[in-house]
Structure 1
Amino acid sequence: MPPVPIPGRALALALVCTLAASGCTVANSASVTAGKDTLRVVLPEEPPTLEPCESSLTSTGVVVRSNITEPLTERDPHSGKLVPKLATAWKRTSDTQWTYTVREGVRFSDGSRFDAKDAAYSIDRAVNSKLGCNVEGYVFGDMDVKLSTPDARTLKVTTPEADPILPLRLSFIEMVPTSTDAKKKVREPIGTGPYRIADWEPGLRLSLAANKRYWGRAPDYRKALYQWRPEGSVRAAMVTNGEADVATSLGPQDGAGDTAVTYPNNETTALRMQLGEAPLNDERVRKAINYAIDRKGIVDSLYQGDAKVASQLVPSGITGYDKGLKPWPTDLAKARKLLAEAKADGVDVGKQIRLISRTALFPKVDETVQVMQNELAGIGLNVKIQMKDTAGSTEFQERPFPKNTGPYLLLIQHGNQAGDAAFSMDQYLLSKGFQSSGGTAAFDRRIRAAEALTGDARQRALGRVFAREPDEITQYAYVAHMYGIAALAPEVRYEPNSATGDEMRLAEFSHVD
C-alpha cells in the first residue's frame, strides 16, 4: 500500500518545520492534546490491514504483534530463545510432532475464552487455508500441518517431515478466536493482547485502548495513538516538538537530535550479483567486485558509524551467524588483476552492468549506490545506476526474473525476523531460492543438511554455510549490518531492540519517573 499523502495544510506546516527549527506543529490536534496515559507513535506508513496472518509484513506486524494479538511463544530479541506467551510449555513428542500446553485463564478482548481449539484454528487458518497469508509463504512455504486437540489445554502439531524449528515457525502465528472468518481476511481482529482496537480513521489515525480482560500485567500506557508520515524529518520533528512520543525508521540526517536512539536491527545490506549473466557469470568478475567495495568507508562516511561492516547475510543474534567470519577486504590491485585475467580469457568485462536499487530502501541509499558505482568504475567496470520504485525493483528481486535484461547488480536489504538462518538461506542462497540468482546442487545439499540439525550442531553447520558462500558461490557482496534509529520523547522509557521495526511491543514502554 502506498504511503497515505499528508493533507495540504499539514504538509505545508511540515515543510516549515523541516526547513526551519521552529516550534510549529506538524500533526493534527489529536496528537498534541492526547493525555499522559496515551503513547503517541508516528510510523512511516499506515498499516494496510491488521489481519493477524499478515503480521510478518512489517507495516502490519509493528502494530499487531503482541499488542492486539499474541502467539503461542515469542522470540526474545536479545537471547534469540523462545519464551512462553499463550503456551506455557512445548516439547517434541515424535520426529514429526510437537505438543503444546496452552495457558489457562486467557480471554479474548470480546470476552470469549481462549483454548487449544482456538490455537488449532488460528494455525489452520493461516497455514493450511487458501487465504494466501503472507506468513504462510514467508515462514511455512508449501508445508501444511496436521492439528489435533485432545483436550482444552493440549495442542498437537504434526508436520509431513521432521522439522526441528517448527516452534520457531509457529511463533509467527497470532492467535484468533474460532469466530474469525475462515474464508476472507479481516481488517480489524480480536485478540488476547494487552490492547484492543478502539478506533481506526483510515488515512488519519489508529487508536488502541487497554484490553481490560488481559491475562498479563496491565501496560503503563492505557491508550496508544498511531499516526503516519512518510518523511523521516517530519516524524523526527513531531517528537522534538512534543507532538509524538516515539518515531521509527529514521535516518541520521532526519534531525532527531537528543531524542535519537540508535540500535542494531535485523537488516543486512548486500549487493546481489546475477550469476547467469555475462560478465557476472565469471567468478573472477564477482570476486573483483567484492574487492572493489570499501565497506568500512561506506559505514563510516555515509552511515556515520551507525552500522557494522557485514561478512554474511544475517547479523549477530541469528542462529547460524558465524562470529569468526571476517568481512571481505578492500584490495583494488587484486580486483584489477582478476578483471585482467578474465579479459585475457575472452570475458567482456567492459559490457555495461546495471546497478539497480529501490528508492528509499534505507536512508542514504542513493549515496550508497553512487559510491559503489564510482568504486566499480575505478577498477574498470562499466556500471549504470537505475533507481526504481517498489514494484520495479521487486521485478528484479524475486523469481521469475525478467529475461534478456542483460547483467545487473541489485542492492538489497534483508531482514531476518525469525532468528534462524534457515529463513534467509532458503530464499537467498538455495540455487532456486525465491530471491537467489543461482547456486549449485552441492551447495543446496550443504544447506539442507545444516537445516536438519538442532542445537549447537545446527549453529555450527549453518555458520559453515555462510563461511563457504563467498568462495563456492560468490553471489553476494555483503556490505553492512544496519542500525535502526528511533526518536523517543524524554518522558518515555523504552529500549529499542532488533525486533522494534517488526513488532514494537507497547507493553515494554513506561513513563520516566
Structure 2
Amino acid sequence: MGLVAALALSGCGFTGGNGGSEQVADLDQRIVVDNFRAPVADWALESDAAYILSLSGCLETLTRYDETAGEIVPSLATEWNQVSPTEWDFTLREGVQFQDGTELTAETVVTSLQNVLDAEVPARAFSPTVVSGVEAVDDRTVRITTPAESPLVPYRLASVNTGVLAPGAFEGEAVDPFGHCTGPFTPVSEEPKQSLTLDRNENYWGGQVQLAGAEVRFITDGATRATQVQTGEADVSLSIPVANLPALEADSNVEVLKTDSPRTATLYMNNGRAPFDDVDFRKAVSSALDLEALADSVYEGAALPGTGPFASSEPWAGESAETPQQDVEAAKELLAASGYTAERPLEIIAIVERAEFADVATVVQENLKSIGVPVTIRTAEYAAVEPDLLAGDYDMVLSQRNRLIDIADPIGFLTADYTCDGSYNISHFCDKEYDRLIAEAAGTADTEQRYQLYARAGQILQEQAANVWLVNEQAIDAVRTDLQNHAQDPLARYVLRAETTKPAS
C-alpha cells in the first residue's frame, strides 16, 4: 500500500474490537497513554515538547493536516488567503476561549507565535529564515509575512510548534501550558520526566469531550509500553517494538494498529569529519550493508528496505528509487579509493528510545567488519547526545526521522536536515546544487513541479551517500479493544481527542 493511501486509511478511525457495535460511553472514564519520550525543554513550543502537548489534546494550531484527505484543513483559523506574494492572512474561529477563560484573538495568537520566532533556537518549521513577521490586522485576522514568496505557509501553521497558548503562558521564566491551551484536554499536574495528567476541558469549542481525562506516561522502554497495554495498565501505547508484536497480536483484548509511516531508520554519518568527509568512504559504508537482510531479521518483515531519503511509495520519491544492494567487493574498492586506514574504531551511537537499534547496530557492526572497518557501539538517550550530534562531535548515530513531522511537506525535512545552514543538519552535509534545488522548491506553488524538485534533491543525497537510509518503518501502536473512536495518526501528533470514548468497565 502506498504511503498516501495509508495516510488516508489511518484517518478513518478505529472502534474497538467489538464488531462495530459501540457501547454507551461513560463520561467519567479516564485513560492512560504510554508515549515513548518526555519533554526536555520546559514546555517551550519551539521544542519537541510541543508534540507532547499536541498528542495530549492540549495544544491546537491555526491549521491542521488532515491525514484522511491529505490536505490542510481549518482548526483555530477558519480560512486563509495569500494577499500578496509574501503575505498570508488567517481568519480566526469565533467563540474560542483558552482554558483560563481568555478569548482567542489575533493579538493572543501573535503573542504566542512571536514567542516561537524569538526563541534562541527557533522551531524548524517556523523560524526567522522562513517567516519575517507576524501581526494582527484586526481582532480576527493574523497576517504572516515571509522573506520570499512561499506557497507552504498554511502547512507551516499546521506544525505543532505553532500551537497557540494564552498570553499567561509566557509570563514566567519558562512556558507554562497549564490552563493556557485551547484543546479538549487541559493539563492539571506533572511528574517531571514521568507523566502528565489532564482533565476534560468543559468549555471546549469543538463540542462535548467524551473522556473525563487522561494520564500521558513517558516510557522510553518499548517492552514496558507493550506490557502495560497488554496488562491493561495503559489504554494506548505508542511505537511498539516489532519483538513484542506476536504477544500483542495474540491477545484478544488488544488491537495492534499499523500503517505506513514517513519515518525512516537511518544510519547518520558525520560528513564533517574524517573518514566520513570522503564520499568514497561513505559509499563504501553504504555498499557494505545488506538492507534486505536487516529488514527481514531485526524488523521481522515489519519494515521495508530503504530506497534513499524517501519511501518509494511517496509521490516525491521519483521513478528510480530502488533499494541499494550489498556489494562487499565494491565496498572494499571504494574503501581503498578513499585512502582509509583503520587507525581507530569508529563509534555507532544507538538511540535507546528505539529498542531495535541495539540489534541494528550489531548488524551494521558485522557488515562493516567484513570490509575492514572496526566499529564500537554505545547506547544512549537521544536528549543526552543531541548536543554532540549538532556540534559534529560523533561518528555515526542510529536514529529515525519523520519526514513530515515539522510540516506535512518534505520541504521542512529537506531544508532542516540537509541544506548547508540547516538547523537540524546533524549529517553536516553541504552541497550548493542541492541547496539551489531546495530554494527553488520552497518558492514553487505547482505541486507536481515541486515534487520533481524534491526527487532531484533526493538523488543528490543518494549519489553523495550523505547517510544510509536503512528501512522505512511502519507506525505501530497498540490499544485496548474497549477504547472507541480512536484514530491512529501516522505522524504521531494527535492521540487524545474529544470524540474518543470508553464504556464503563
* Structure 2 length-normalised TM: 0.82
Take 1:94 and 1:53, find their aligned partners in 2: how far apart are those partners? Answer: 28
Offset at residue 68 of structure 1 (A): 1.5
Structure 1 outlier segments of 4+, above 6 Å? 316-319
Please tell me the residue identity of whatever aligns with 2:270. Answer: Q
Q: Is 1:154 aligned with 2:159? A: no
Q: Is 1:426 aligned with 2:397? A: no
1:329-349 superposed Cα distances (whole Å, 9 cap, x missing partner): 222333234335x17xxx134
Please tell me the residue identity of whatever aligns with 2:97. Answer: R
What's the counterpart of residue 338 of structure 1? 334
Offset at residue 491 of structure 1 (A): 0.3
SS at match of 1:308: strand
Q: Is 1:497 aligned with 2:489? A: yes
Q: Is 1:170 aligned with 2:157? A: yes
Take 1:470 and 1:203, find their aligned partners in 2: how far apart are those partners? Answer: 38
Take 1:91 and 1:483, find their aligned partners in 2: how far apart are those partners? Answer: 35
Please say if residues 199 and 206 of structure 1, whose CA atoms lie closer than 8 Å, have aligned partners that are also in contact. Answer: yes
Take 2:334 and 2:32, find their aligned partners in 1: how far apart are those partners? Answer: 54
SS at match of 1:126: helix
Please tell me the residue identity of whatever aligns with 1:413. Answer: Q
What's the counterpart of residue 299 of structure 1? 295
SS at match of 2:285: helix
Offset at residue 36 of structure 1 (A): 6.0
Please say if residues 99 and 157 of structure 1, whose CA atoms lie closer than 8 Å, have aligned partners that are also in contact. Answer: yes
1:359-399 superposed Cα distances (whole Å, 9 cap, x missing partner): 41412111111111111121233333344454663344213
Offset at residue 99 of structure 1 (A): 0.8
Offset at residue 223 of structure 1 (A): 1.8
1:221-243 superposed Cα distances (whole Å, 9 cap, x missing partner): 23222334443333322222222
Take 2:380 and 2:390, find their aligned partners in 1: how far apart are those partners? Answer: 14
1:222-271 superposed Cα distances (whole Å, 9 cap, x missing partner): 32223344433333222222222112232123453432333333421222
Please tell me the residue identity of whatever aligns with 1:70. Answer: E
Q: RMSD of aligned C-alpha atoms? A: 3.0
Say if 1:156 and 1:88 are closer, same or farther in 2 by CA, change over 3 A.
same
Q: 1:41 aligns with which of 25, 33, 55?
A: 33
Take 2:189 and 2:158, find their aligned partners in 1: how far apart are those partners? Answer: 27
SS at match of 2:123: helix
What's the counterpart of residue 3 of structure 1? none
Please tell me the residue identity of whatever aligns with 1:295. Answer: L
What's the counterpart of residue 10 of structure 2? none
SS at match of 2:361: helix
What's the counterpart of residue 231 of structure 2? 241
What's the counterpart of residue 441 of structure 2? 450
Offset at residue 79 of structure 1 (A): 4.4
Please say if residues 131 and 145 of structure 2, whose CA atoms lie closer than 8 Å, have aligned partners that are also in contact. Answer: no
Say if 1:482 and 1:350 are closer, same or farther in 2 by CA, change over 3 A.
same
SS at match of 2:126: helix
SS at match of 2:224: helix
Further displaced range: 413-422 or 200-209: 200-209
SS at match of 2:371: coil
SS at match of 1:492: coil
Please tell me the residue identity of whatever aligns with 2:402. Answer: G
Please say if residues 37 and 353 of structure 2, whose CA atoms lie closer than 8 Å, have aligned partners that are also in contact. Answer: no
Take 1:357 and 1:299, find their aligned partners in 2: how far apart are those partners? Answer: 19
What's the counterpart of residue 455 of structure 2? 463
1:300-345 superposed Cα distances (whole Å, 9 cap, x missing partner): 11011222222233447877444651122222333234335x17xx
Please tell me the residue identity of whatever aligns with 2:440. Answer: A
Please tell me the residue identity of whatever aligns with 1:397. Answer: L
Q: Is 1:355 aligned with 2:347? A: yes
- For 1:26-175, what aligned pairs fall within 5 Å after superposition? 37-48=29-40, 51=43, 53-54=45-46, 56-57=47-48, 60-64=50-54, 67-127=57-117, 129=118, 131-132=119-120, 136-137=123-124, 139-140=126-127, 142=129, 145-172=132-159, 173-175=162-164
Please say if residues 40 and 225 of structure 1, whose CA atoms lie closer than 8 Å, have aligned partners that are also in contact. Answer: yes
Further displaced range: 446-455 or 181-190: 181-190
Please say if residues 350 and 358 of structure 2, whose CA atoms lie closer than 8 Å, have aligned partners that are also in contact. Answer: no
Take 1:217 and 1:204, find their aligned partners in 2: how far apart are those partners? Answer: 30
1:4-45 superposed Cα distances (whole Å, 9 cap, x missing partner): xxxxxxxxxxxxxxxxxxxxxxxxxxxxxx986212223345
Offset at residue 286 of structure 1 (A): 2.1
Further displaced range: 415-424 or 269-278: 269-278
Q: 1:219 aligns with which of 196, 206, 209?
A: 209
1:111-142 superposed Cα distances (whole Å, 9 cap, x missing partner): 33212222222212221x3x54x653553254
What is the number of residues matched between the two proteins? 464
Structure 1 unaligned spans of 5+:
1-33
Please tell me the residue identity of whatever aligns with 1:332. Answer: V
Bigger RCO (CA 8 Å, 6+ sep): 2
Take 1:382 and 1:233, find their aligned partners in 2: how far apart are those partners? Answer: 30
Structure number, greater radius of gyration:
1
What's the counterpart of residue 401 of structure 2? 414
Q: 2:361 aligns with which of 365, 369, 377?
A: 369
Please say if residues 306 and 469 of structure 2, whose CA atoms lie closer than 8 Å, have aligned partners that are also in contact. Answer: yes
SS at match of 2:440: helix
Please say if residues 37 and 220 of structure 2, whose CA atoms lie closer than 8 Å, have aligned partners that are also in contact. Answer: yes
Task: Give the fraction of aligned pairs with identical amino acids, expressed as a percent.
Answer: 24
Take 1:512 and 1:332, find their aligned partners in 2: how far apart are those partners? Answer: 57
Please say if residues 63 and 503 of structure 1, whose CA atoms lie closer than 8 Å, have aligned partners that are also in contact. Answer: no
